[in-house]
Amino acid sequence: MRTPKKDGPGLVFILIALVVVGAIALKVFGLFPGAKQEPEEQIPKIDETIPPEALEVSMLVYHSHASENFSPSEANTTKGKEGDIVRVGEALVNNLATRGILAVHDVTVHDYPSWSQAYARSKSTIESALQKYPTIQFVIDVHRDGLPDRGEGYTITKIDGQEAATILLVTGDANNPRAAANLAFAEKIRTKMEQMYPGLLRRIQVKHEDLNGNYLDNSVVVYIGDYRGNTLKQALKSAELLANVLAAVCADLKTAAKE
C-alpha cells in the first residue's frame, strides 16, 4: 500500500487475498496450461478497487529522509523528488504483503526543502496515518546510512549466498515517553533477526533525539545499508529479509497478546 506525496494522486492499496495467492501459486507451479515461471520478485497485483475502510492496515512505513540514494547516484535527489530509499520501502511493504502483513507506504518527501525539519514534518504523516487507519500497531521509518568511508564490505553481509546490506536499528529518547517501549521493540527485532539471519544486523543505537517514537510502542527507525558501502540491489534484498523478520515479530506479539 503506497501513499504518494500529499499533492499527488490518491492512495494505492494492497490486499493479499487467498484467491490472488492461489492464482499466483498455480502459475508458479505450472498448473495453468502454458504457464511460465514467475520471477522471484513477483508480488501480488495491487487491488485499487477496495476502499480504505475495508482494509485492516497494521503497519506504517515511511521515510523522514525520502530523498536518500545509493551510489553511484548522487547522495540525495533534489527538488522534492523521491530517492532510492523509497524503492527500498516499497520492497519492504510488498514483501510484507506476501506474508499477510498489510502496510501503508507513505512516500512524502519530508527532507525538502529543509533537511533539519524532516522529523518535525514527518510527524504530520504519522498522525494522519494513525487517524486514517486506527488499526496500525507498528511504525517503521526507513533510511539508509551515510557513513564515512569504512572500507569495502563494512556494511555487506551474505545471506544464503546473496549479498545484502546490513541493518541498523535506531530509537530516540528525547521527548519520548515511549522510549523504553521503542527500545524493547527494537530488541525483539534484533533477537528475531539474529535467529533468522545471523550477520544481517549491525547493532541497535539509541540517539538523544526526537525521532517520532512517541506515537506507538512498536516504533523504530531502520537504516538499511549505507550510501557508499551498498548498492540498491543489496538494500532491496535486505528489505525482503526484514519483511520476514517483521512478520515473525508480529506473529509473536499477536500470540503473546492472546495468552
> For residue range 137-160, what is the model confidence (pLDDT) as tens digits?
999 999 999 999 888 899 999 999
Tell me the mean pLDDT in the region 214-237.
Answer: 98
pTM: 0.81
Query: Residue 172 pLDDT more than 60?
Result: yes
Q: Where are the beta strands (DSSP E) in 36-181?
A: 59-62, 103-106, 138-145, 156-159, 162-165, 167-172
Which residue ranges form the domains of the chain, and what is each CATH number? 51-258 (3.40.630.40)
Could you give the percent of the chain with pLDDT greater than 90? 75
Query: Residue 184 pLDDT more than 80?
Result: yes
Distance (Å) of CA 25 to CA 15, 29, 35, 43: 16, 6, 11, 11
Contact by Cβ (8 Å): 185, 216: no
What is the spatial distance between Cα 198 and Cα 203, in angstroms, rounded to a whole number?
Answer: 12
